Each structure stands twice: as C-alpha cells, then as structure tokens.
Amino acid sequence: MPSKDRKKQADAIMRFAEESGVAGNYLFETTFERYQVQLKILDELEKALGEEGMLVSKEYVKGRKNLYANPAVTEFNRTTDSANKTASTLMKIIRSFAVEDNGEADDDPLMSIIGGDENDEQ
C-alpha cells in the first residue's frame, strides 16, 4: 500500500479512536505505534523481495552455487503474522476501552490511568 494511502488509513483509525474515547489510552497509543512500525518493516521487506527475488544463491567452495529461498520471505511472513495480531489487538483495545454511551469511563482508577485520564495521576 502506498504510504499516502497508509497515512489516510492511520488518520482514519486515529479519528475512530478519538470518537471512541481511546486515543489517549496508553495501550492504544503504544500498540498503534508498534503497528505502524510493523507496516514500515513490511514495506522494506517487500521492496527487498522485489529487488532480490524470491530465491537467492549462495556460493560455496570451488564456486558451486545453490539456490535458497530468500530469508526476507520468512521475515515477511513473520512480520505479517505479527502485524495481523497487532491489528487484532488494536481492535480489541478500541472495543474494550471505548467510553460508554453515557460518556463516562469505568470508575476503576487503574483503568482510568490506562485510559489516559491525567486527573488520576499521583
């Protein structure tokens, strides 16, 4: 996905988080940042695969070459799996910590701190 489209998507997620009341939530913020980093890593791995191809050769003693799967394939798959799990976690955070329809957050002090309510800080 081009970075311009990704920026629009990130902005849309942030607007949704703000509307849901979780934009200041520590768990949301750190998870969202992590997700954006994972997407950048995926961009770089995809670029490397495009440039190097799916197979790489290793040259051994006496000049013999063997073909192997590009290690970027494995890393791409791992990072994709991790990014998908992070996206799922983001959705759970938004659903779990969203401000109730009455506009009030949970009265639990820990939940208030996690939710970003600065008034509950010591």
Q: How many CB atoms lie within 10 A of CB 45?
A: 21
pLDDT class of 111 with cuts at 50, 70, 90: low
The domains of the chain are located at: 3-120
CA distance 49 to 53: 5
Q: Per residue in 2-43, pLDDT tens?
A: 567 878 888 888 888 888 889 889 999 999 999 999 999 999
Nearest to 105 by CA among 118, 92, 89, 86: 118
pLDDT given at position 112? 63
pLDDT given at position 102? 44
pLDDT class of 80 with cuts at 50, 70, 90: very high
